[in-house]
Structure 1
């Protein structure tokens, strides 16, 4: 799975909803039906698989027909065995009985059900990395020689590739600028694994690799949909009807062009995939199991204000607000405001962003929090944001800030924006506005007793488009560092 340490928080459905979704997935519901169907006459092979003679009965029990019925029944049985819905009583005789986890599906809590589903997911993910062995099975049945090296199969590499794809899909889904609940075109997902970030126009070789990856993923997502991980619209089989064409030959020929000139109005023909709410839960569980920090909205709701402000510091704005709303919902407004203000203090490098998140959190608190804000009016670090909060709500008798407080709050705000967004367009506009509104801004700003003053002035010099103003900012930054002995 992805090893990113800065994954945005995911918004999960409740465990009760997810458990209902899990029970309704085709694969787990089939596995449960076969576990209830199994009896004294049921026989399995050495690996726990149903013997061939019983596959038609299992398929009939599931109401499956057609040439793939036995394969679907076999898969459901394997999940039943792997998840403990069925237990093998005697390996020599191949007898089975209902497993303890079968009762879990009807009498267990949501977490118990989800644990069984996660077991089913692991079985299917393992199956999805195994190549199609039909040709080799046919050759063996005909007495032919089989060279397993021809498979060109590296189990670890296959598992790593699928994990990487699912990690990318997870990251795109939880990112604020990602597709969210909308499906993602399969070519784009395949390209995310193959095409280097710094590559301009992909070469024909790279495009051919993307095309091959698409076909692998098409097979894999077809397997993963019945377990509820994804909602998937497969690649249109008409695109593969002519076996002489690579999927996506730009001109329908075989001149080495290996990727389609996709008609934007018909991109769905090349496969569309999205994670389900259950899939988001499952991939997050796997990330956590692998030791990857994968936050979820609500994780901080029962923690202190210090954890809230530090935790949401790296969250996108919408996720930070959702987390804060859940935190506030569990607390009385006045007490919450006091706790937030206390946690916002500090002179460390993370303090400006904590105060910005505090200010944003306080914007969600009602007028009953006013006493907490008045209590910090004389606080050097909090007095400025307290005045802003009170003024925005039309409070009476709000003392005007001193010039020193205005400049300190300005430096603190820019430092917070730098930490949150870096050199963004919005920050550049803020810098230009500050320099324009205050003619002597830099002459006074370098004296501001704020730990971030030199860095803020340097950033302003870097961001301001006017060379003369940028030079003033750099000079002020130098003075600020000299004053501190840096």
Structure 2
């Protein structure tokens, strides 16, 4: 059976030590740490754990934000993160030992206030492992993510009913839909970042990211209605990325607010092809790649990373890299071989060769990746390769490996092995869905090396012979050869069924 294709290309992550340093440097977490160290017995917090308004100016001043008009808001945001991540522990007055705290008035006659103490997470950030730091940062990411998907309103008082209850219907807010939208956006951004077809390490224009969520793939020219939806999504994302950036998952150049005064009659943002940067630019940071992947793994999404297979067996390696891009195959294989070292090259080669055997649908691709891995293994692997020269499945690739290294005394392959290797090689490339032009060149090259190729190849005892010949009939540019391939495919099927 062919290996299951991962839903996402593998990502190359920074080391945990590097990611932990990035996490500690994230502005919001750094501010939360400073406030956790600043808090003391006299720090006054509300019943919900929030820093009371009267203390916000002092908190902002401690953060060096006293001259910033938004300093108090930044301080409040950092305080909430410190509580959410366990840097601070807040005790609600209702939970006091005497049980009489509920309803007690605070120092200024207002609501009862809680007490605050240093949480266990603060010590882990300074004395724990990189994994400890990243675990705390991930807790912070979840808290910020919740803020990014929270409803926006101008005046909270407008949402309070006469009986004091909250009119949630007035918010016009669907929490599941909001989370699903942002998950989809970040998933698309992640895919575009790790995909060969995406911008790579460069930023992505906000309109392109919004369009990836709104415009159907099969739509040619977007309608005015769709363009208006894209504009609305951009505004929504602009607010959300402003919230997410301080936790360190994205670098974001915000939407130019002067564009809002240039809206068209239909409410859509004006087109300005000359300066797309005005519409916002966003990119995932290395920490962002780590964080979004962690959230996807938690949700059950298959999101591989380079290095996942380094400690696995050869069977898991060859199955895991089956549909990786070429560069990722090489990187993962080098890490796997590096674990064995030069002293273990023979053992590694034996494991790879053994794992590549088989007649299932995925076997040809395993053998192709085995051959590529052996090319990276070095000359130390030669004893293991020579040991399979007489193997009907591996003898062909063993001869190729030895010949490429200029080895002496390589026995000539029997004709049956030559044809078997040709079929196996094309079967592997068909399974890999490689470049069509390269595949066509391979088909024409292999069939052209032997006179009467199609007169003999249909007899090859390979499970993929008929399918390979049918593909050769479709791909070969020479009409006569293509017809011969189709006839040979019919013979192969008749032979198999007989």
- TM-score bracket, shorter-length normalisation: over 0.9
Matching residue within 108, 118, 125 for 1:98: 118
Q: Who is 1:53 aligned against?
A: 54
Q: How many residues align?
A: 469
Q: Who is 1:193 aligned against?
A: 213
Q: Is the 8 A contact 1:454 1:478 kept in 2?
A: yes
* Structure-2 separation of matches of 1:392 and 1:22: 47
Q: Who is 1:258 aligned against?
A: 268
Please list, as runs of the form range in 1=range in 2, the aligned pairs for 1:114-125 lying within 5 A after superposition: 114-125=134-145
Distance change in 2, residues 1:79/1:463 (3 Å): same
Distance change in 2, residues 1:108/1:470 (3 Å): same
Q: By how many angstroms is 1:469 displaced?
A: 2.7
Q: By how many angstroms is 1:422 displaced?
A: 5.6
Establish whether residue 26 from structure 1 lines up as the match of residue 35 from structure 2: no
Establish whether residue 136 from structure 1 lines up as the match of residue 130 from structure 2: no
Q: By how many angstroms is 1:151 displaced?
A: 3.1
Q: Is the 8 A contact 2:259 2:270 kept in 1?
A: no
* Structure-1 separation of matches of 2:318 and 2:352: 8
Q: Who is 1:249 aligned against?
A: none
Q: Who is 1:321 aligned against?
A: 330
* Structure-1 separation of matches of 2:419 and 2:239: 60
* Structure-1 separation of matches of 2:200 and 2:253: 17
Could you state the TM-score of these two structures normalised by the residue count of structure 2?
A: 0.90
Q: Who is 1:289 aligned against?
A: 298
Establish whether residue 449 from structure 1 lines up as the match of residue 458 from structure 2: no
Matching residue within 368, 376, 388 for 1:364: 376
Distance change in 2, residues 1:147/1:159 (3 Å): same
Q: By how many angstroms is 1:136 displaced?
A: 2.3
Q: Who is 1:170 aligned against?
A: 190
Matching residue within 359, 370, 376 for 1:347: 359
Q: After the TM superposition, list the runs of 4 or more consecutive aligned residues in structure 1 that deviate by more than 6 angstroms.
A: none
- For residues 271-299 of structure 1, what are the alpha-carbon distances to aligned partners after superposition, in whole Å with 9 as ceiling and x for unaligned? 11111111111111111111112111111
- For residues 452-483 of structure 1, what are the alpha-carbon distances to aligned partners after superposition, in whole Å with 9 as ceiling and x for unaligned? 10110111112223443322222211110110
Distance change in 2, residues 1:422/1:368 (3 Å): closer
Q: Is the 8 A contact 2:56 2:75 kept in 1?
A: yes
- For residues 205-264 of structure 1, what are the alpha-carbon distances to aligned partners after superposition, in whole Å with 9 as ceiling and x for unaligned? 111111111111111111111100101111122222x1xx43xxxxxx42x38355342x
Please list, as runs of the form range in 1=range in 2, the aligned pairs for 1:63-462 lying within 5 A after superposition: 63-64=64-65, 65-92=67-94, 93-133=113-153, 135-137=154-156, 149-240=169-260, 242=261, 245-246=262-263, 253-254=264-265, 256=266, 258=268, 260-263=270-273, 266-331=275-340, 332-421=344-433, 424-462=436-474
Q: By how many angstroms is 1:150 displaced?
A: 4.2
- For residues 388-413 of structure 1, what are the alpha-carbon distances to aligned partners after superposition, in whole Å with 9 as ceiling and x for unaligned? 11111111111121211111000000
Q: Is the 8 A contact 1:210 1:259 kept in 2?
A: no
Q: By how many angstroms is 1:89 displaced?
A: 2.7
Secondary structure at 1:180 match in 2: coil
Q: By how many angstroms is 1:139 displaced?
A: 5.3
Q: Gaps spanning 5+ residues in structure 1: where?
A: 247-252
Secondary structure at 2:283 match in 1: strand
**Mean CA deviation greater in 158-167 or 86-95:** 86-95
Secondary structure at 2:282 match in 1: strand
